[in-house]
Structure 1
Amino acid sequence: MNITDLISGGIGSKAIAGVAKVLNIDESKAKWVVAAAVPLMIAALNYNSKKSAEKEASINNALEKHNGGILDQIGDFFGQGPSDDDNKIVNHMFGRNTDVVKESLAAKTGLSSDKIGGVLAILAPIVMGYLGKQKQQTSSSGGIGDLLGSVLGGGAASNSSEGGGILGSILSSVLGGGNQNATQGGNMGGLADLAGEFFNQNNDSGKKGSILDSLAGMFAK
């Protein structure tokens, strides 16, 4: 399992082409948004899964419903465009950070927040479908956090075997309150670190924009 499948691999290529067509934007711009947004989505899900047993169960149930069927019907999905349910998935992923994500991506791309919202709504069920399929195919007993952490770590500079644990520590204070100081450490992987730092409330819009550039730069080449 590898996050590059969702960004620059077969699934990602179809998603980028579909996003560009549905929203009538340049394909290179669509690729940049996809490369920046997908790691944020998976990182947010991973942190949410660690908030409580109830949150983990909720994400687990959601992944059970998204069994990957959408990946075989991406063309039909793009023909329909994003739905209200797709927007709800985005809101569940990012919570109170949803507007921050939209506004930051809009500022970097020159696209409107509405168009960015459309991109996120298109990507959300694809990401969930991919993760749901990976869940079906893995026999790991480590829980949803390990699944999400390993997918996120698959396309990064991180070679750590701690995957979900790294993401849990760095995101524990930046996706929804509590202690505002994200844990720092030399062993934190590049992608996990960047994805977590985007949500750090101590970072201003300029810093968030630089983080998005770095995230996108890992894949949008």
Structure 2
Amino acid sequence: MTSFDDLLSQVPVSQIATKLGVDEATANTAIKAAIPVLLGGLQAKASNPEAAAAIEGEIAKQPDDLLDGGVDIEQVDVAGGHQIVDQTFGTEKNTVINALGDVGGAGNDLMGKLMPMLAPIVLAYLGKKVMGGTGTGTAAQSGAGGLGDILGSLLGGATGGSGNASGGLGGVLGDALGKNAGNVLGNVLGGLLGGKK
């Protein structure tokens, strides 16, 4: 079963904390805030078939064995992660990072470094779910519906709820992040969702 906790369990918190020069508690708080936002951005993009195909193209680029036996942060393509974050949030990237920087006292600089580390891990996880674990499927195999459904399920799990996050993305993010950051990010992601039809 796809679950937010399962995705979180793939993230090497201690390695990321070391990389970022923070303690594990700070890294963990930042990771738990950043992943729902990444998922929300991807879901907003996945509602557009062309963008969904691009996401699946990025998913297919992730190493099949990235999640096997626990992620080694040194194997994560952070440069590729920057590209994924840029593609996902576009001109709103800085707004997203600034809003996330207010969560749990993690600074903008920390979030700016963290998001590109997490993006390839999230995509590799989606690859396992969308492509049935082979990582070599095509966009035609699963389609935007499959990807959107998985993202919706993960977002529901992020807040302990269920249902389609695109309906109330601000609410989902508000629950996950605290109302102010959630509202800002909900508006940004809502704009991505509305603007890419």
Provide the TM-score with structure 1 as the length reference. 0.66
In structure 1, what is the equivalent of residue 55 of structure 2? 59
2:185 is the alignment partner of 1:199 = yes
In structure 2, what is the equivalent of residue 40 of structure 1? 37
Q: Pick which of 112-121 and 60-69 moved more.
A: 60-69
Moved over 6 A (4+): 138-141
In structure 2, what is the equivalent of residue 22 of structure 1? 19
Displacement of 1:45? 0.4
SS at match of 1:154: helix
Report the residue type matching 2:46 in the other structure: S
Distance 1:127 1:40 in 2: 11
Q: 1:41 to 1:68 in 2, by over 3 A?
A: farther
Distance 1:27 1:87 in 2: 23
Q: 1:96 to 1:3 in 2, by over 3 A?
A: same
**8 Å CA contact retained: 2:130, 2:146:** no
The count of corresponding residues between Structure 1 and Structure 2 is: 173
- Please tell me the root mean square deviation across aligned C-alpha atoms, in Å: 2.9
Q: Pick which of 19-28 and 112-121 moved more.
A: 112-121
Q: 2:121 aligns with which of 114, 118, 126?
A: 126
Structure ID, larger Rg? 1
Q: Deviations over 1:146-195 (max 9, x none)?
A: 121122223433244xxxxx323335xxxxxxxxxx7xxxxxxx646646
Runs (5+) with no aligned partner, structure 1: 161-165, 172-181, 183-189, 203-221
Higher percent of residues as helix: 2
Distance 1:170 1:2 in 2: 19
Runs (5+) with no aligned partner, structure 2: 134-140, 177-181, 189-197
Q: Deviations over 1:120-153 (max 9, x none)?
A: 1111111111111111228977432112112222
Q: 1:80 to 1:192 in 2, by over 3 A?
A: closer
Distance 2:106 2:62 in 1: 29
Q: 2:167 aligns with which of 143, 166, 169?
A: 169
**8 Å CA contact retained: 2:39, 2:155:** yes
**8 Å CA contact retained: 2:59, 2:126:** yes
Displacement of 1:81? 7.1
Q: Deviations over 1:199-219 (max 9, x none)?
A: 2449xxxxxxxxxxxxxxxxx
**8 Å CA contact retained: 1:71, 1:126:** yes
Distance 1:125 1:116 in 2: 15
Distance 1:131 1:59 in 2: 10
Q: 1:80 to 1:151 in 2, by over 3 A?
A: closer
Percent of matched pairs sharing the same residue: 29
Distance 2:155 2:106 in 1: 26
Distance 2:158 2:35 in 1: 11
Report the residue type matching 2:148 in the other structure: G
Distance 2:63 2:80 in 1: 16
